[in-house]
Structure 1
Amino acid sequence: MAMNGVKVLDGKVALVTGGSRGIGAAVALRLAQDGADVALTHRGSAGPAEEVVARITATGRKGWAVRADSADPEEVRGAVAAVVERFGRLDVLVNNAGVGAVGPVEAVALDRIDQVLAVNVRAPYLYAQAAVEHMAEGGRIVSIGSCLAQRVPFPGSALYATSKAALTGLTKGMARELGPRGITVNLVHPGPTDTDMNPGDGESADFQRGFTALGRYGTAAEVADAVSYLVGESARYVTGAELAVDGGFAA
């Protein structure tokens, strides 16, 4: 997006966690198109992350991929420090990295519970904790939640829903605390979204699609549109909010 020829995020630096694929990759590319230099974290092979970086640089912006396991607190803090050292600032944090969890309540092992809560809850807190040390007025934090944080219409999702619902408390609490510093904190809840992790032609796609009011999967780009709005100047008076991009899943 550009206003009078100037893109809304010109001169800004963004960090997108889990930005090598799916929603994270779409968000990273959209923020670059909005004018930001974008760093992204990845945990696995560097190949997909470098492909996203190449797409970022093709827009004329700087891109960088840094390996960081969101389950490791030191790697989380190290990733933020590395981004600030490389780019000299940090204006936007998008907490996107997450892990799924499916299974009956009584069957989920303790180590799985710990992993999901570490990645989906602790890591967003730690990323934000580290990022706000470097954010000036106008800083933006957006976390990616889930439609299952607002409605859980099928069994087997209690752990995942718990982890994503926790982001509501994080968002509202940090919004209240960081508001006087001019930093906004918001939450986006995607519904069924066509990614390699949950393809629109997968085995459960028709089942999931049936829970939406629009009767279709969303796209990663549609989620990125919402993030773009929240980190831009048009949302300067929006904080502590939950924005559902779910096709009416929670309706």
Structure 2
Amino acid sequence: MSDPFDLHGRRALVTGAGRGLGHAIAVGLARAGADLVLLGRKGSQEQTRDEITDLGRDVRVVDLDVSDHDAIERVADEVTESVDILVNNAGVIDRADAADVTRQAWHRVVDVNLHAAFFLCQEFGRPMAERGHGKIVNVASLLSFQGGIRVAAYTASKHAVAGITKALANEWGPRGVQVNAIAPGYMATDNTTALRADPDRSRAILERIPAGRWGTAADIAGAAVFLSSAAADYVNGHVLVVDGGWLAR
């Protein structure tokens, strides 16, 4: 029996692959056999590129600020290689009391987390649907289900990411494209630096996680490989929570 997790012969595009979750996802896909296109800010993805090259996979770096939505269309035209897997990982967070959130901060978070994800799905999902196969993996959050504290824009954007994941699954599932999402729990990444630095907040979080630890970027890579592979051909419109058991409490 062939390995259903084998991604040889597939090309994956990962946004925000320079660090954290995006780096781990890109390297995980490469280890499973995929070739990569890394899409992110200029100068941020060279280390990831070098690691993938060392794994013997083909890799291309494309410089793009995903909040520049006009540029997404231009880049989609430039990436002439067939993209079989799209992982929308790029994201930002802004912490402030809801009453103090500025319009600029609100729009920045929503532009990166939601608008960019949708327009990338549109540009790269359209040819997938035309070919009759493809995988899209959006990175959602526990705050796709919960309200959070002092992260109103982030919460709104991640609720919406879960929503568009389901909407696109409904449209493109009949055309051979599976659209799913991963909802990471509390991960030891740059986005949680402030939480981990607060002893009381960090302790309260850890006490609720049955696994008893913060998640790592590597914990997300396996989920991304699964949803990108033939093993998930009958998984569509699903938000896969990887949280150490947080939501079970």
TM-score, normalising length: structure 1: 0.90
Aligned partners of 2:225 and 2:188: how far apart in 1?
Answer: 19
Which residue does 2:196 correspond to in 1? 202
Aligned partners of 1:190 and 1:246: how far apart in 2?
Answer: 6
Question: SS where residue 193 of structure 1 aligns?
Answer: coil
Which residue does 1:181 correspond to in 2? 175
Question: SS where residue 45 of structure 2 aligns?
Answer: helix
Task: Classify 1:201/1:133 alpha carbon distance in 2 versus 1 (closer, same or farther; 3 Å).
Answer: closer
Is residue 55 from structure 1 mapped to residue 35 from structure 2 by the alignment? no
- Displacement of 1:7: 6.8
**RMSD of Structure 2 on Structure 1 (CA):** 2.0
What is the aligned counterpart of 2:40 among 21, 29, 42? 42
Tell me the matched-pair count.
243
Q: State the one-letter code of the partner of 2:120.
A: Y
Q: Where do residues 96-135 of structure 1 align in structure 2 (5 Å cutoff)?
A: 96-135=89-128
Which structure 2 residue ranges, 5 or more long, are not aligned?
none
Aligned partners of 1:53 and 1:222: how far apart in 2?
Answer: 20
Which residue does 1:78 correspond to in 2? 74
Once the two structures are superposed, what CA deviation does each residue of 1:75-100 show, in whole Å capped at 9, x if it has no partner? 222333322x2xx2110000000110
Larger relative contact order (C-alpha < 8 A, sep ≥ 6)?
Answer: 2
Which structure 1 residue ranges, 5 or more long, are not aligned?
none
Aligned partners of 1:111 and 1:195: how far apart in 2?
Answer: 24
Aligned partners of 1:36 and 1:173: how far apart in 2?
Answer: 27
- Does the CA contact (< 8 Å) of 2:7 and 2:29 recur in 1? yes
TM-score, normalising length: structure 2: 0.91
More helix by share: 2
Aligned partners of 2:136 and 2:186: how far apart in 1?
Answer: 23
Which residue does 1:150 correspond to in 2? 145
- Does the CA contact (< 8 Å) of 1:200 and 1:217 recur in 2? no
- Displacement of 1:219: 1.2
